[in-house]
Amino acid sequence: MQIQDNLMDPSVISDPYTYFAEIRTNDPVHWSDDFGGWIVTRYEDVAFAFQDQTRFSAERVTPSRKASEKKKKELASTYNVLSHWMVFNDPPKHTRLRLLVNKAFTPSAVEKIKPRIVEISNELLDEMANNEKADIIKDYAYALPILVISEMLGLPKNDRDKIKKWSDDLMLLVFGAVDVPDRHEKAQKSLQEMYDYLHDIASKRRENPQDDLISAIAFAGDGGDKLTTDEIISTCSLLVFGGHETTTNLIANGMMSLLTHPQAYKELKDNPSLISSAVEEFLRYEGPSKAMIRIAKEDLELGGKKIKQNERLLLVQASANRDPAKFTKPDKLDITRHPNQHLGFGRGIHYCLGAPLARVEGEIAIKQLIQRFPQMTLEDVQIEWQPTIINRALKRLPVTLRGTSS
């Protein structure tokens, strides 16, 4: 059977689940000329590749094979910063970086900032209540996590818009918006601006430490081992980017799922104690991470296919999380689903560092939004998704806030 080979086709961006289900059924480890590698779609294969770091590498910060030598030189500084992101590193460097920043994102550490997350949520909802309509993403889903991670890092509140601009431009490169012609230039410019901005703040924290995450990272050490300046700035830029991008999409995608499934919306509104299992279901059903890339470290076999050393693999969480071999009625939104062993945050050593924070922010944000605006409805508009290979992100989510309660 001939499978369409275009990950950026508008129909695939709009509905990746039907496309990947076809691959999963007919050719679960599928060679794609368009991607230049293997598309892996079954739950068991995706989970296996995530967990086996001896044969699958996360180190993929290199220019495109199609890039000219001039382009490679122009992008050298960009790839230098990204090369220090722990998500793009294997052990031992990954282990070292993760250990030095892990304490800030443990469940107990996140528990301490929950009251502040509630306060920020209420402040944003108070602003929304002044209007009859809102864009859930612009007015809430983006604002809450960027304010939370900015406060944790010790960044000024008034800088959130330019931080968002930098992050949006960087997303075009990191998440594979291959149809955007100037994505490299935008990412290069914004990453350099972000680097200079964070370098200035980190330098000040080294001279005058504060009770914030940048200070903790700047002075983090284990047996005399400390992060270099480049590692400090790169790690902070990763936390700025990852600390709000995933959570923004978790909140927005979760609300979109509820608003298009009125029964589930009513069920959660009537029984708020379901919020934890609901968030897990949003991560499975319409998760913010659509896929992740790995590189084969050696010749190997996966799903009956022979993979050669250095070939790329696209591990498709969006498909694995809808695999009927793992989940009953996988295409149904079930906010009471249990167990729910989704791969929304990955698995293995690269399991999302910020997962505890994202879960808490998602639970608070969605629960309070529904309680404040119980009669909220989705505007009658076409739902548009960002055209990227890696993440699942809405462009906007316009709603009517009728029947609000205070």
Q: What pLDDT does 241 receive?
A: 83
Q: Hey, what's the torsion of the CAs at 160, 164, 165, 169, to 10 degrees?
A: 160
pLDDT of 309 > 80? The answer is yes
Band of residue 75 on the pLDDT scale cut at 50, 70, 90: low
DSSP-derived 3-state class of residue 85: coil
What lies within 8 Å, CB to CB, of 108 at 6+ separation is none
Question: Tell me: the pLDDT tens digits for 366-379?
Answer: 999 999 999 999 99
Residues 22-44 have a mean pLDDT of 96
| Whole-angstrom distance, CA of residue 152 vs CA of residue 329 | 39
Q: What pLDDT does 107 receive?
A: 85
Percent of the chain whose pLDDT exceeds 90: 67
Residues 24-29 have a mean pLDDT of 97
Q: Are strands 292-296 and 56-57 parallel, antiparallel or unpaired?
A: antiparallel
Looking at residue 260, its amino acid is T
pLDDT of 21 > 60? The answer is yes
Q: Which two tokens stand for residue 205?
A: 């924290």
Q: What pLDDT does 108 receive?
A: 85
Band of residue 135 on the pLDDT scale cut at 50, 70, 90: very high
DSSP label at residue 18: H
pLDDT of 67 > 60? The answer is no
**What is the CATH code of the structural domain delimited by 68-288+342-400?**
1.10.630.10
DSSP label at residue 308: P
The more confidently predicted of residues 245 and 332 is 332
Question: Tell me: the pLDDT tens digits for 229-248?
Answer: 888 888 888 888 887 889 99
Band of residue 204 on the pLDDT scale cut at 50, 70, 90: very high
CB 302 within 8 A of CB 49: yes
Looking at residue 96, its amino acid is R
pLDDT of 66 > 60? The answer is no
Residue reference for tokens 């993760």? 98
Q: 0.85 cut: is pTM over it?
A: yes
Q: What pLDDT does 406 receive?
A: 40
pLDDT of 181 > 70? The answer is no
| Whole-angstrom distance, CA of residue 355 vs CA of residue 351 | 8
For the chain, the residue count is: 406
Q: Are strands 312-315 and 292-296 parallel, antiparallel or unpaired?
A: antiparallel
Band of residue 70 on the pLDDT scale cut at 50, 70, 90: low
Q: What pLDDT does 178 receive?
A: 54
Residues 12-36 have a mean pLDDT of 96
pLDDT of 403 > 60? The answer is no
The overall average pLDDT reported for the chain is 89
| Whole-angstrom distance, CA of residue 364 vs CA of residue 276 | 10
Q: Which two tokens stand for residue 162?
A: 């330019």
Q: Are strands 398-400 and 133-135 parallel, antiparallel or unpaired?
A: antiparallel
Band of residue 1 on the pLDDT scale cut at 50, 70, 90: low
Burial letters for 370-396: b for 16+ Cβ neighbours within 10 Å, e otherwise? Answer: bebbeebebeeeeeebbbbbbbbbbee
For the chain, first and last CA: distance in Å?
Answer: 56
pLDDT of 333 > 70? The answer is yes
Domain ranges of the chain: 68-288+342-400
Between the CA of residue 208 and those of 107, 110, 203, 345, what are the distances in Å? 28, 25, 9, 35
Going through 247-369 in order, the beta strands assigned E by DSSP cover 292-296, 300-302, 305-307, 312-315
Note if the bond before 92 is cis, omega within 30 degrees: yes
pLDDT of 357 > 70? The answer is yes
**Which helix H or strand E contains 173, and what residues bound it?**
helix 160-174
Q: What pLDDT does 238 receive?
A: 87
pLDDT of 304 > 60? The answer is yes
pLDDT of 405 > 50? The answer is no
Percent of the chain whose pLDDT exceeds 70: 91
Q: Which two tokens stand for residue 403?
A: 């029947």
Q: What pLDDT does 82 receive?
A: 80
